[in-house]
Structure 1
Amino acid sequence: MTPEPSAPRPPRPPSAPQPRQTVRTVDYHTAGEPFRIVDTTDPGFPAALPGDTVAERCATAIGPGGSGTAPRPGELDDVRRLLVQEPRGHAGMYGGFVVPPDDDGAHFGVLFWHKDGYSTACGHGTMALGAWAVDSGRVPAPDQGDVEVRIDVPSGRVTATVHRDGGRTTGVTFRNVPARVTARKVPVATTLGLAEADLAHAGACYASVRARDLGLDVTRASLPDLVRAGREVRAALATHPGTWHPGGPLLSGVYGVILHEELPDTPFDPHQRNATVFADGQVDRSPCGSGTSARLALLAQDGRLGPGEDLLHESVVGTVFTGRAVPDADPGPGAGPAGAGDGLVTEVTGTAYRTGEHTFTLDPYDALGPGFLL
């Protein structure tokens, strides 16, 4: 009788203690989506990342394999895994490493990360970073009025305008790199049926699909099917030329799939709800900031969004962003990579709130190390 195989044993802790790893974070949420902020410029941060620009640092973090998920002990990705994986994080966690900016025109730079690696854009994270920069005093702000926080991200330079009232941050408006529509009505076959996808680049490439084309509505009850559809659409469009960005491979490929539905319009403006499925099946709890930019570009091309009109954009949990086109805006220096071409400048407004400050540690005797994901 053949014995049953035994369960794999966890790795044996080191026989001699290694230095205890400590990472400090400040956490926010923007419209329900978490954002964990790690300032790598603080003395004693346990990792270094070479590169002269934020885009170069992002490419280094991702590495030659393209995912940024391969273990590299002692380097930045170990810190990402420590913070995003259980028991310190969760599969829906999102965050950013604050790094030096490309030049003196920005206050700082950031590398966005999630459970599967790194991303080139993050609107909700940009809003959280704007609030953090002002709330922490890193960027001086008035008690009453607005202040701009300029941030270099892998896709270019973005701005978070922080709104203040009575000494309190009341909201943030995110101005993105220009958004460009690159393909319309691309047929996509899924196990839920045939759909048409519209592609737009807004710091990252997003595919928009009408949820009803797949027999779905955008509700919490439909999330398993929405995630399944998002994964299948992303895989089906992997080689479509509309996903390619002239800035190169870093900005190319479908990052998120926006499954959206129409809601009754406000008296003057369109009203939609969406579930954005990004990376490998991660669901944005917010209406997705850079994804909202992509939706605005498509609506403007369709003639559904005119000057002075807003998109009221809801998430699957009921939180709201308002987005608008800024057709006469100057993208400004550093707004996008060379060769990106003209596009629609957009703004997205929402709220961001601090949820905690944390000191995470990795005990050298902890057999789970940086953690796990289920």
Structure 2
Amino acid sequence: MTGQPKMISTADYHTAGEPFRIVLGGVRPPQGATILDKRDDAIARLDDVRQLLTLEPRGHADMYGCFVTEPDDDGADLGLIFFHREGFSTACGHGSIAAAVWACTTGYAAPREDGTLVLDVPSGRVTCHISDVGGRPSVRFVNIPSYLHAKDVKVSTTHGTTHADIAYGGAFYAMVEAGSLGQEVTPAHLPGLITLSAQIKADILARHQLASPEDDRVNGLYGVIFYDRLATEDGRIEERNVTVFADGQVDRSPCGSGTCARLATLHGRGELGTGELVNRSIIDTVFTGRAAGTTTIAGRPAIIPEVTGTAYLTGYNTFVAEPGDELPTGFLLPTTAADR
């Protein structure tokens, strides 16, 4: 064997069940003047590393992670470039929570005097409020302004026609009530929901142009959120949801940026008021969220969403790609009949 193996070190976390792999060393961090420029650099230069860390045999079909970068300026403490099995996303709420826990507990970045840690991510600047709950950090992140883009959009599927709301929470999501298609947000229904998500996504993208009014590099329909309404009481809403994103990837958590989009939708439809959203995942883990204020984006009414959760360390890893490995960036096999 000739040459040196490629070795990449990571810290692995889960946020409400959803994995998050933070790259600590072994690669040159993404470069650029702004966080979106750094994302462009990662797309051009680090896609093989993304594949190595997310695909089998070192990852799995639903792996998520990030590269850590310098922030845009002194107004933030660190930057994050998110990635998953299909590519590089613009927003990741569960990843922001995990990275904030990692940075605080390892000393990579200490919270400011007001208890906040500020992140630059491709969709904008995210402020994380760090507090101690039961001896471990809880993170309440304030996301970028989020808004309802369109409501009651007609979509056609093999299970019939239904309606979707489209909202932006750092990425664009389509939201569909699972029962409108004869489904429920349960593990048993997941293969069918994955299949339906692909149909809904294709139908919407064929008829709707979706791009952030602030930078058109933030574009496309990132995910489809299926939800079941569980309870409504005095403005407090409880739902169970599952987000299917990228090319059929399933979020085990209630989805952080998706929760922001859901908050914007409920507010835009006049259902939320000043109440709280208790958002349960398909595995029954929980994020809570609320609209902390209102604003506008390019003339559109928008909210300032806050979402609360925590993350847990699952391990430290050093991944190796030996010279001559016939699968240097890995592979992916379908795991369900619906796949994916």
Q: In the alignment, which of 6, 21, 27 is matched to residue 46 of structure 1?
A: 27
Confirm whether residue 279 of structure 1 aligns to residue 246 of structure 2: yes
TM-aligned CA distance change 1:283 to 1:86, over 3 Å:
same
Distance 1:112 1:340 in 2: 29
Confirm whether residue 319 of structure 1 aligns to residue 278 of structure 2: no
Indicate conservation of the 8 Å contact 1:61/1:77, yes or no: yes
Indicate conservation of the 8 Å contact 1:247/1:340, yes or no: no
Q: In the alignment, which of 194, 201, 204 is matched to residue 171 of structure 2?
A: 204
Confirm whether residue 37 of structure 1 aligns to residue 22 of structure 2: yes
Taking structure 2 as the reference length, the TM-score comes to 0.92
Confirm whether residue 193 of structure 1 aligns to residue 193 of structure 2: no
Deviations 1:304-347 (CA, angstroms, capped at 9, x unpaired):
2122x11010010110110100115x89xxxx9xx586521000
Q: How does 1:160-309 map to 2 (within 5 A)?
A: 160-165=128-133, 168-241=135-208, 243-265=210-232, 269-307=236-274, 309=275
Name the residue aligned to 2:324. Answer: 365
Distance 1:318 1:240 in 2: 34
Q: Provide the secondary structure at the position in 2 that maps to 1:158.
A: strand
Report the alpha carbon displacement of residue 266 of structure 1 after superposing the two structures with TM.
Answer: 5.3
* Structure with the higher strand share, 1 or 2: 2
Q: In the alignment, which of 261, 266, 276 is matched to residue 310 of structure 1?
A: 276
Name the residue aligned to 1:58. Answer: 39
Amino acid at match of 1:348: V
TM-aligned CA distance change 1:156 to 1:300, over 3 Å:
same
TM-aligned CA distance change 1:277 to 1:340, over 3 Å:
farther
Distance 2:320 2:243 in 1: 32
Cα-Cα RMSD: 2.1
Distance 1:315 1:77 in 2: 29
Taking structure 1 as the reference length, the TM-score comes to 0.84
Indicate conservation of the 8 Å contact 1:197/1:209, yes or no: yes
Indicate conservation of the 8 Å contact 2:147/2:268, yes or no: no
Distance 1:132 1:200 in 2: 29
Amino acid at match of 1:120: T
Report the alpha carbon displacement of residue 267 of structure 1 after superposing the two structures with TM.
Answer: 6.4
Name the larger-Rg structure: 1
Identity of aligned residues (%): 47
Q: Provide the secondary structure at the position in 2 that maps to 1:208.
A: strand
Report the alpha carbon displacement of residue 280 of structure 1 after superposing the two structures with TM.
Answer: 0.3
Distance 1:364 1:271 in 2: 51
Name the residue aligned to 1:4. Answer: none
Confirm whether residue 150 of structure 1 aligns to residue 118 of structure 2: yes
TM-aligned CA distance change 1:28 to 1:225, over 3 Å:
same
Deviations 1:59-108 (CA, angstroms, capped at 9, x unpaired):
33335xxxxxxxxxxx3111111110111110110001111111111011
Deviations 1:194-226 (CA, angstroms, capped at 9, x unpaired):
111111111000111111111101000000000
Q: Provide the secondary structure at the position in 1 that maps to 2:232.
A: coil
Deviations 1:39-63 (CA, angstroms, capped at 9, x unpaired):
4xx5xx3345332111112133335
Distance 2:200 2:244 in 1: 10
Indicate conservation of the 8 Å contact 2:110/2:117, yes or no: no
TM-aligned CA distance change 1:60 to 1:237, over 3 Å:
farther
| Worse overlay, 287-296 or 239-248 | 239-248
Runs of at least 5 residues in structure 1 that lack an aligned partner in the other structure: 1-15, 64-74
Name the residue aligned to 2:78. Answer: 108
Amino acid at match of 1:176: N
Indicate conservation of the 8 Å contact 1:322/1:349, yes or no: yes
Q: Provide the secondary structure at the position in 1 that maps to 2:155.
A: strand
Alignment: residue pair count: 333
Distance 1:211 1:357 in 2: 37
TM-aligned CA distance change 1:165 to 1:233, over 3 Å:
closer
Name the residue aligned to 1:69. Answer: none
Distance 2:209 2:178 in 1: 21
TM-aligned CA distance change 1:152 to 1:48, over 3 Å:
closer
Distance 1:289 1:52 in 2: 27
Q: Provide the secondary structure at the position in 2 that maps to 1:345.
A: strand
Distance 2:236 2:267 in 1: 12
Amino acid at match of 1:197: A
Q: Provide the secondary structure at the position in 2 that maps to 1:106.
A: coil
Q: In the alignment, which of 4, 9, 30 is matched to residue 24 of structure 1?
A: 9
Deviations 1:239-277 (CA, angstroms, capped at 9, x unpaired):
444623223432111001001111133565111111100
Amino acid at match of 2:281: S
Q: Provide the secondary structure at the position in 2 that maps to 1:118.
A: coil
Distance 1:296 1:196 in 2: 18
Indicate conservation of the 8 Å contact 1:134/1:140, yes or no: yes
Distance 2:195 2:210 in 1: 20
Distance 1:184 1:62 in 2: 32
Amino acid at match of 1:35: F
TM-aligned CA distance change 1:347 to 1:242, over 3 Å:
farther
TM-aligned CA distance change 1:219 to 1:146, over 3 Å:
farther
